[in-house]
Structure formats: C-alpha cells, structure tokens
Amino acid sequence: MTNSGRGEDSYVIWTVNLDRKKSRSEGRRIPKRFSVPNVRIEELAEACEALGLSYEVEHKRYPRCWWEEGGRLRVEKRMRKTELMVKLAEKIREMRG
C-alpha cells in the first residue's frame, strides 16, 4: 500500500464502481461489458499494483449501500477516471483467470 496523496492529484475509486451486479443508480460507473462481478478491495489494490499505480486503501462503506462490505482506493491521476476504471476491471478479470 503506497500513499498517493489527497485531493486534486488522486481519484476515489469505490469497489461498487466496477461491480457488474450493481446498477448505475447503485454506483456502477462503467458499462456492464467492462465491469466484473463482486469486486473486492484486495483485488482492486492488486490491480493497481499490477498497473504500477500509487494508491491508498480506505476501508469505508459506499453511502448508497452502507450495509455492504466494500471499500475505496485513492489512486493517482494518470489518465481519465473512466479509462482508469475500465483498465482496473480488465486487470481484475485477467487476474481471476
């Protein structure tokens, strides 16, 4: 786990942002064809590691689904946020085999 700083130099990525089982209104931010089911914070961190991105894990609960486990990462800005989320989802899919 590395520190990427806060604010303008990092994005907040929630596990639900990449979760295929969530609807757009529940927090999914990328199209279903790119998303993956049941994303775990550990997988998200591992995907950042594999892509060589600085990140910080924050064990928080997504406000719209506060009763569910999950979490978020603060990830350094190197590309557009949507592009980053698609790459993270692809990497998670690849790691799952």
Residue whose pair of structure tokens reads 């350094």 in the numeric block: 76
**Which CATH architecture does the domain made up of 7-96 adopt?**
2-Layer Sandwich (3.30)
pLDDT digits 0-9 by tens, 60-84 = 999 988 888 889 999 999 999 999 9
Rounded to an integer, what distance in angstroms lies between the CA atom of residue 73 and that of residue 81?
Answer: 13
Task: For residue 94, give the DSSP letter.
Answer: H
Indicate the residue type of 20.
R
**pTM exceeding the 0.85 threshold for the entire prediction:** yes
pLDDT digits 0-9 by tens, 27-42 = 999 999 999 999 999 9
Q: Domain extents for the chain?
A: 7-96
Rounded to an integer, what distance in angstroms lies between the CA atom of residue 13 and that of residue 77?
Answer: 11
Rounded to an integer, what distance in angstroms lies between the CA atom of residue 44 and that of residue 58?
Answer: 12
Cβ distance 70 to 26 under 8 Å? no
